[in-house]
Structure 1
Amino acid sequence: MIEKKLNYNFKDPQLLKTALTHSSYANETSVESNERMEFLGDAVLGFIVARVLYDLFPDAAEGKLSKMRSAIVSRMNFAHFAKGLKIDKQMLLGKGEENTGGRKRQSNLAGAFEAVIGAVFIDGGYKKVYRIVTKLLKNCLNGDEEIFRDYKTGLQEVAQRQFKKVPKYKVVLEEGPPHDKCFHVEVKLGRKCMGKGVGRNKKQAEQAAAKEGLEYIEGINKLA
């Protein structure tokens, strides 16, 4: 399924299986997890996304390219790509992780997406990854506004208009080594938690929390 979505067939299928293996599953079965491939995929994506944007937008200024790259290279959007490739359906999770909603967790989806890209890079090289990323980004740019939406601004506008309140963001957890930090953020209106988000920096985590907050308000409005 993933290979069909990628339009790429692995010469070594074990690489794809490893890329889909969460550490919780690896700990239960004594197989290799996807963490090393995630590390590689993260680095590969950072470079290739920049190169693809550079090629797609020859007249764009550095500032615009940087903003676009920042919008794309986030856990929230890598998780979005993962769902589009059906990675969530094939991830290998440990029982505990599965039972606590790990298949929908943004950090797991984003990590698996990075690992799959790392696996393609090992198996097929730079050109194959470049082709895949170019296709993904073109799909985004041809109408998938979800990738570039500013959720914080959207939530603030809705909250002030509907509730006369300003959203407040708080980092509730910071984990991971210095080179791969993970921030967990909550957004509240008054005392009510409207959403939670995860990201590699506070800005990304706040955007993810704001997205959930907007979805929460939209759900309330539908019931009204």
Structure 2
Amino acid sequence: MIHEAITVDEENSYASMCSFLNKQYVSDKSMADSVEALLGAHFQSGGIRGGIKFVEWIGILPASENVQNLIDSSVVDPILDKNATLANVNFHLPQWQEFEKRLGYHFNNRAFLLQALTHSSYSPNRVTQSYERLEFIGDAILDFLITCYIYEHCGVLNPGEVTDLRSALVNNNTFASLVVRCGFHKFLLMINLKLQGHIDKFAEYLATKNHVIDDEVLILLEEKDLNMAEYVDVPKVLGDVFEALAGAVYLDSNKDLKTVWRVFYKIMWKEIDLFSKNVPKNVIRRLYECHTAYPTFR
């Protein structure tokens, strides 16, 4: 049975009626928040295993899926051609030593690095897939690690500030800017002149700002919105590569979250420290507050 979304007015009506019926009405959001809070409590007290047991117990994930076994399973080799050698990998990464120095991590299986730097347009790479799958897992890992850090170290912030802080740190604009500041974009493997032009333009813009990530950078448009305004666009591929690198380090280190955080905290610590002291306010929240700050007359 499909239920239509309940409006705020309807919720208020239900809540007012409950007092007459000696019942209590709990909104969907309150229920969802409660489940998330319970999950957080189990995670804090029992770690990842405790969180998994809770979501299995409550039925979010069926116990038959054995999620913990999936996490503990061995890492799959990213090399597609089993006849490929390290020389085949190095052919596409002639400056791999320089990249590892900038990243601050030495790959045990360099094929993960090749995959993280390969755009879908780079057809010469037949050794690995492109970065999409690594981006998917890296996105979740960075979100998780940054959320944990904020929870552990930013207890003086209110709920709204905590949400804004995470939004400022975990977004494409910030990740893309970090990629350019570290020079990772120079190693990206792709064959797309138009995209390369967008990347060069964005890199030039950040250079004029001395690679400082501030409110001006955070509100830039992504490349898909370029036709909406004549501003510097943020190529989404750069943020994707940052997330893919996190995924690559995670898998190459045998799923060691501590290693991932050690590597990426060194890259992000300036923004983490700066934004924690002066939390950038979410753009939508900013617009809403500006709109409600002035009375309307009829």
TM-score range, shorter chain: 0.5 to 0.7
C-alpha distance 43-141 of structure 1, shift in aligned 2 (>3 A): closer
Check conservation: 1:41, 1:114, Cα contact below 8 A. yes
Corresponding position of 2:249: 120
Corresponding position of 2:185: 88
Corresponding position of 1:57: 154
Corresponding position of 2:265: 134
CA distance in 2, matches of 1:106, 1:148: 24
CA shift, 1:102, in A, is 4.7
CA distance in 1, matches of 2:172, 2:261: 19
CA shift, 1:36, in A, is 0.6
Secondary structure at the counterpart of residue 23 of structure 1: coil
Letter in 1 for 2:265: T
CA distance in 2, matches of 1:22, 1:6: 19
Give the length in aligned residue pairs.
153
Structure 2: runs of 5 or more not aligned: 1-97, 203-233, 288-298
CA distance in 2, matches of 1:149, 1:109: 21
C-alpha distance 4-58 of structure 1, shift in aligned 2 (>3 A): farther
Structure 1, residues 151-200: CA drift from partner, whole Å, max 9, x if none? 969xx9xxxxxxxxxxxxxxxxxxxxxxxxxxxxxxxxxxxxxxxxxxxx
Task: State percent identity of aligned pairs.
Answer: 30
CA distance in 2, matches of 1:132, 1:58: 24
CA distance in 1, matches of 2:125, 2:264: 32
When the two structures are superposed, what TM-score results if normalisation uses the length of structure 2?
0.45
Give matches, 1:142-161, under 5 Å. Answer: 142-143=273-274, 149=280
Within the candidate set 69, 78, 81, 2:175 is matched to 78
Aligned residues: CA RMSD: 3.0
CA distance in 1, matches of 2:179, 2:168: 16
CA distance in 1, matches of 2:152, 2:265: 10
CA distance in 2, matches of 1:131, 1:7: 9
Letter in 1 for 2:159: E
When the two structures are superposed, what TM-score results if normalisation uses the length of structure 1?
0.58
Check conservation: 2:164, 2:279, Cα contact below 8 A. no
Corresponding position of 1:218: none
Q: Does 1:107 align with 2:236?
A: yes
CA shift, 1:97, in A, is 4.7
Structure 1: runs of 5 or more not aligned: 157-224
CA distance in 2, matches of 1:54, 1:106: 30
CA distance in 2, matches of 1:93, 1:137: 26
Give matches, 1:1-224, under 5 Å. Answer: 1-26=98-123, 29-30=125-126, 31-97=128-194, 100-102=197-199, 104=202, 106-124=235-253, 125-143=256-274, 149=280
CA distance in 1, matches of 2:269, 2:199: 29
CA distance in 1, matches of 2:281, 2:161: 15
Corresponding position of 1:191: none
C-alpha distance 142-61 of structure 1, shift in aligned 2 (>3 A): closer
CA distance in 1, matches of 2:281, 2:169: 12
Corresponding position of 1:193: none
- Structure showing the higher strand proportion among its residues: 1
